[in-house]
Amino acid sequence: MVKIKKLKRKKTYKYNVNRKRMKNRMKKRPAITCEQMKGEWDSRKSVKENLRQMGLTSDVNATIKIPTDRPDELMAVESLPDPKKTHVAMELEADAKAPRQKNFCLPNSQVFWLTKLIDKYGEDYQAMSRDRKMNAFQETWKQLRQKIKTFKNIPEQWNAYLEKKEQEQETSAV
């Protein structure tokens, strides 16, 4: 019978590791990065108790119970004790609802490739797909059209391309 590699590994005692310190590091709670919770966190209390005081929950399945025998009934919500620090939950909710700025950008290599294709073929996607050197990944004309459409919908990169193209035309005209 073949032995498993994990069981076969040489088991040695590591003399250079302080086991007591390692245990304390494992027990140590992670740093809280959320600004709203950081100020209200009480390190003497457990995670569950801290969250309960802020009007939050550590286990959604325990808080919102879905009946298994009758699924058409409404969900029964466990009555939580009156939270003392309700402003934390409200701040988190407001932060979640706040509009976010989208920072989607294509990789520089793909932008360079698409600009070369646009410069060479313009809007002729069929010709782009047939070019063996430029279309090394053998993408279809519809795939190329979608990538160029995405490139045009990113204003930072598209405007930079247009400005560069204008500068090239000005220098060639002079």
CA distance 128 to 135: 7
Q: How much is the pLDDT for 8?
A: 67
Nearest to 131 by CA among 143, 117, 145: 117
Q: How much is the pLDDT for 114?
A: 96
Note if the pTM is more than 0.85.
Answer: no
CA distance 83 to 30: 24
Q: Is 65 helix (H, G, I), strand (E, B) or coil?
A: strand
CA distance 146 to 173: 33
Amino acid at 132: R
Q: How much is the pLDDT for 18?
A: 93
Domains of the chain, residue spans: 47-97, 108-173
How many other C-beta atoms are found inside a 10 Å radius of the C-beta of residue 10?
Answer: 4
Per-residue pLDDT of the chain (174 residues; tens, 9 = 90+): 566 777 767 777 889 999 999 888 887 777 888 888 888 888 888 888 888 888 888 888 888 777 777 655 555 555 555 677 788 888 889 999 999 887 889 999 999 999 999 999 999 999 999 999 999 999 999 999 999 999 999 999 999 999 999 999 998 887
Q: How much is the pLDDT for 3?
A: 66
CA distance 163 to 157: 10
